[in-house]
Amino acid sequence: MLQAGDPPPVEILNPDGRSDCILICEHAGAVVPAALGRMGLDDDDFGRHYAVDIGARGVTEHLSRLLDAPAIVATYSRLVVDINRTIDHETTFPVTGEGKPIPGNVGLSDADKAQRINEIYKPFDRAVQDVMNSVLDHGGRPMLLAVHSYTPVFFGTPRPWECAVLWREDWPMSRAMLGHLQALGLNVGDNEPYDSRKQCFGTLDRHAGGHGDGADGAFLWPHALVEIRNNLIQNDKDQQSWAEILANVVHKIMADESNRGLPPDTPLG
């Protein structure tokens, strides 16, 4: 599917960063492989929240610099394949975006899906694991932070939260991030506007939550997912401001050894 002239599916920013914190931005990009045309959509659609997490890449870039942390960012739109899903999830190849049909994803064959998985999804997964292995090889202990954004209004319903922390199990890192953000006076969603206990948690589950395939996926590492309302990160200045907020929070989290612990009642052995 990918051709000469198509960009690589994943980019690693600051690969030699010295921080144990690894940044992940699965919905950073809005690119579509040339072979897929525009997937039956208008160009404007690829600037909408259902195609790309608006502002998330910019926040991730600034945060990578501030933390001296490696960051793995996706190139292609989540409409091509949503990396932050399990391979067999019903929205891995979404057929609608906030109610709008996605013609290029209707009636995909197993071969079509396999191409996107093999050429876009799996290379991203390998990049995440490679960066984690690099941190481990240098004696570090990975802490994963995924950066996302969300639309301020969804199907007509306003979302009041300025940012949010999503979690499936009650990891100390997630709880600490929630508390530090709330202490700043921010309106922080606690598993809002999405409840990760009720839906796929994707990349973090596979690489740090003990839900992946094979030996790599069995590991449990501290992790959290932060969401920022996208009307607050529309420009570089605001993206840098939010990155500074997150960097200060991450520094506090990493300074407290208890935040590297496991969720309560985690079975061991």
pLDDT by residue (tens digit) across 196-229?
A: 766 666 899 889 876 555 445 456 899 999 999 9
pLDDT at residue number 213: 53
pLDDT at residue number 268: 46
pLDDT at 266 over 70: no
pLDDT-derived band at 194 (thresholds 50, 70, 90) equals confident
pLDDT at residue number 201: 61
pLDDT at residue number 269: 42
Catalogue the E-assigned strands of the chain.
Answer: 10-13, 21-25, 71-74, 96-97, 100-101, 143-150, 153-154, 157-158, 163-166, 188-190, 223-229
Residue 49 belongs to what H/E stretch? none
Min mean pLDDT across 48-57, 83-92, 181-190 is at: 83-92
Burial letters 141-161, b for 16+ CB under 10 A, else e = ebbbbbbbbbbbeeeeeebeb
pLDDT at residue number 220: 85
For the question of whether the overall pTM of this predicted structure is more than 0.75, the answer is yes
pLDDT at 40 over 70: yes
DSSP state for residue 76 in the 8-state scheme: B
- Which own/partner pairs from 98-103 qualify as long-range (CB within 8 Å, at least 24 positions apart)? 98/48, 98/49, 98/50, 98/151, 98/154, 98/155, 99/155, 100/45, 100/50, 101/40, 102/39, 102/40, 102/41, 103/39, 103/40, 103/41
3-state secondary structure of 173: helix
Measured N-to-C along each axis, helices 172-183 and 236-255 cross at an angle, to the nearest 10 degrees, of: 120
pLDDT at residue number 76: 99
Burial letters 10-33, b for 16+ CB under 10 A, else e = bbbbbeebebbbbbbbbbbbbbbb
Match 């492989």 to its residue by tokens. Answer: 33
Residues 109 and 187 sit within 8 Å (Cβ to Cβ): no
- Which ranges in 94-169 belong to alpha helices (H)? 110-116, 122-137
Q: For the chain, which residues make up each domain, given as ranges?
A: 10-258
Mean pLDDT of all residues in 30-40 = 98
Mean pLDDT of all residues in 82-104 = 95
Query: Class of 10-258 per CATH?
Result: alpha beta
State both tokens at 120.
Answer: 């876009």
Query: Alpha carbon 180 to chain centroid distance?
Result: 20
Amino acid identity for residue 65 in this structure = R
